[in-house]
Amino acid sequence: MTSIVAPIFVRSADAVLPQIAEAVKQGADMIELRCDEANHETIEAILTRPEARCTPIIVTVRAKAEGGLFSGNETDRLDLILHACRLKPDYVDVEFDTWRENPDFPAQAVPLLAKDATDPSGRPKLILSTHDFLSRPADLQQRLTAMAEIPSACLIKAAYHAKNLIDALEAFGLYEELPQTIRKPLVIIAMGEAGLITRILAAKYNAAFTFAVPAGSATTAPGQPTITELIRTYRFRSQVRNSPVYGVIGWPVSHSISPMIHNAGFQSAGCPGVYVPLPIEPEYEAFFSAVTALRGLRDFNLRGASVTIPHKAHAARYLENAGGVLDETSARIGVINTLYFPSDGTVGGTNSDWYGAIEAMRAATGWNLTDLAFKRVAVLGAGGAARAMVAGLASLGATVVVYNRTLKRAQELAYEFNGKIGHVSAALLNEFAGTNCSVIINCTPAGMFPNVKTIPVDDMTAINSSTVVFDTVYNPRRTRFLDLSARQGAQTIEGLEMLVRQAVIQFEGFTGKTAPLGVMRVAAEAALARE
């Protein structure tokens, strides 16, 4: 079983004991006491207290050169580590370079350490670790192998900064290869936003442990999740080696609430798997390399991905190059937000945005698809969201007017569809006051956090009790545009409904099971409320 280790910076014994209790309460299986700023007495005061020994303890004293805070000289630091060893914590973590560069230290430490992982003496087991806070070391595999050859090392750990997802995936490659030669428990962590996936999927790869902080505590390394995120959002306890993985591909992607929505759905529907953030740099080459690397890992088992800005066009290009076939509307839109990777090695994909929007409208109004064919719809904006909306509505036979600040862009969008699959015209946004459309869809970011006072139009007199107003902006849930429209008597539809319903379409494509819409909506609401 992969343990969750909660790192705690030690400042005083009295402060640490409640922190240990809280971390254990939140789900930590082990505590790492970061004793960089502690002295002999403080360490002793903690390790001799039964309350501190309710869970396995790792003691670490890191020098500044190792990314720590210890400010004294090296002799004093090594003396502090030896002192901690005599107090018999469960583990001590020592940097490989410290072990190699101070020959007297191993000579003094070995008699105080467990001989191996099965030693029953109660002496601490040695975690030998290597850190690189700048980049992925080119010789990572050799370093890990050399560390494993130290007889006293019971557990081998490497942590390095991942500049991108490809750097992070190296950790999984090593987890797949090294156990054939190294027969010691391993922990390989990529630090930074791109490395989060190595912390989340540690249990899938049977790592000895992963680090996570209690909610509200300071992290000890970049990219650490909270214990609750790991257990609740990322289904840490149910991960196994062949767990399918899904994710959201974007740049940036850390703000995405899709992991909360999909993982809640998997949990509720009893589907195996975990949905993770997949940050991939903006260019197509980066997209192609990262997706190829993800699919190339033997055990990763990537089964599907949501795709967001700026990769929706890249996803369509990737699909085409891989010989995948798009449905008619997605092909017309030209960009997709969903990729499927079935086990037969093929690639599929679709654009679930437009259908999620239509489903949100149908659910709110009770219309069927034929009813939509008789509507006049004003689409505000002419960007990516508007394009998906126009393609979907036009393919259903609705009459669409695209209102945009930049008339040329609206005209180009209208020209692409008008007469080919429906009736689409273009107008300047400031002509909206004269509209005779009964359905208004805001596809501009106006009103989106932090610009919550903005509305997309400057005259709302055309909106009345026979109008349906749909705002695709979902943060905040109730935009000012929706509130003002409701005040004029219009029926209003929130963007959150579209977000959840496009996720439902993806979920059903990923798993082949009916999506738990209500659970996914509650998860989306909760995630937005936390922002």
Q: Cite the active site residues.
A: 131, 157, 312, 353
- In the complex, least distance from residue 402 CB atom to ligand NAP, rounded to whole angstroms: 9
Q: Starting from the edge strand earliest in sequence, which strands make up the sheet with 399-404, in order?
A: 423-428, 399-404, 376-380, 439-442, 468-471, 491-493
Residue 75 makes CB contacts below 8 A (sequence gap 6+) with none
Q: Residue 304: which residues within 8 A CB-CB, separation 6 or more? A: 246, 338, 339, 340, 341, 506, 509, 510
The residue (of 203 and 505) whose beta carbon lies closer to ligand NAP is: 505
Tell me the angle at which helices 517-530 and 495-511 cross, rounded to the nearest 10 degrees: 130
- Cβ closer to ligand NAP: 40 or 409? 409
Q: How far is the CB of 283 from ligand NAP (least distance, A)?
A: 18
Residue 472 near residue 494 (C-beta atoms within 8 A): no
Q: Is 274 helix (H, G, I), strand (E, B) or coil?
A: strand
Number of residues that bind ligand NAP (CB under 6 A): 26
Q: Of 208 and 473, which CB lies nearer to ligand NAP in the complex structure? A: 473
Q: Please identify, among the stretches 76-84, 294-302, 467-475, 504-512, the one whose residues bind ligand NAP according to the rule CB under 6 A.
A: 467-475
One of 385, 391, 437, 468 touching ligand NAP (CB under 6 A): 385
List helix spans (H) across 203-283: 227-228, 258-269
Instruction: In angstroms, give the least distance from the CB of 385 to ligand NAP.
Output: 3
Torsion of CA 18, 19, 20, 25, to 10 degrees: 90
Interaction with ligand NAP in 293-322: which residues (CB under 6 A)?
none
* Exposure b/e, 151-163, CB count within 10 A at least 16 = b: ebbbbbbbbbbbb
Nearer to ligand NAP, 60 or 479 (CB): 479
Contact 235, 265 (CB under 8 A): no
Residue 244 or residue 495: which is nearer to ligand NAP going by CB? 495
Q: Are strands 302-307 and 338-340 parallel, antiparallel or unpaired?
A: antiparallel
Q: Which residues contact 107 (CB under 8 A, 6 or more apart)?
A: none
* By CB under 6 A, residue 473 contacts ligand NAP: yes
**Residue closer to ligand NAP (CB basis): 26 or 502:** 502
Query: How many whole angstroms separate alpha carbon 119 and alpha carbon 373?
Result: 75
Q: Does 250 bind ligand NAP (CB under 6 A)?
A: no
Site string for ligand NAP, 337-366 (x = CB under 6 A): ----------------x-------------
147-155, 215-223, 362-370, 381-389 -> range binding ligand NAP (CB under 6 A): 381-389
User: Contact letters (x/-) for ligand NAP, 438-457, by CB under 6 A?
Assistant: -----xxxx-x-----x-x-
Pick out residues in 400-419 that bind ligand NAP (CB under 6 A). Answer: 404-406, 409
| Binding flag, residue 261, ligand NAP (CB under 6 A) | no
| CA–CA gap between residue 385 and residue 27 (Å, rounded) | 41
In 174-290, beta strands by DSSP E: 186-191, 209-211, 245-250, 274-279
* Candidate segments 47-55, 172-180, 319-327, 495-503, binder of ligand NAP by CB under 6 A: 495-503
Question: Least distance from C-beta 387 to ligand NAP, angstroms?
Answer: 7
Nearest distance from residue 266's CB to ligand NAP, in Å? 20
From candidates 42, 220, 435, 472, binder to ligand NAP by CB under 6 A: 472
Of 59, 305, 386, 398, which one interacts with ligand NAP (CB under 6 A)?
A: 386
Cα–Cα distance measured from residue 359 to residue 501, given in angstroms and rounded to the nearest whole number = 7
SS (H, E, C) 381-433: CCCHHHHHHHHHHHHCCCEEEEEECCHHHHHHHHHHHCCCCCEEEEEEHHHHH
By the criterion CB under 6 A, which residues form the site for ligand NAP? 353, 381-386, 404-406, 409, 429, 443-446, 448, 454, 456, 472-474, 495, 498-499, 502
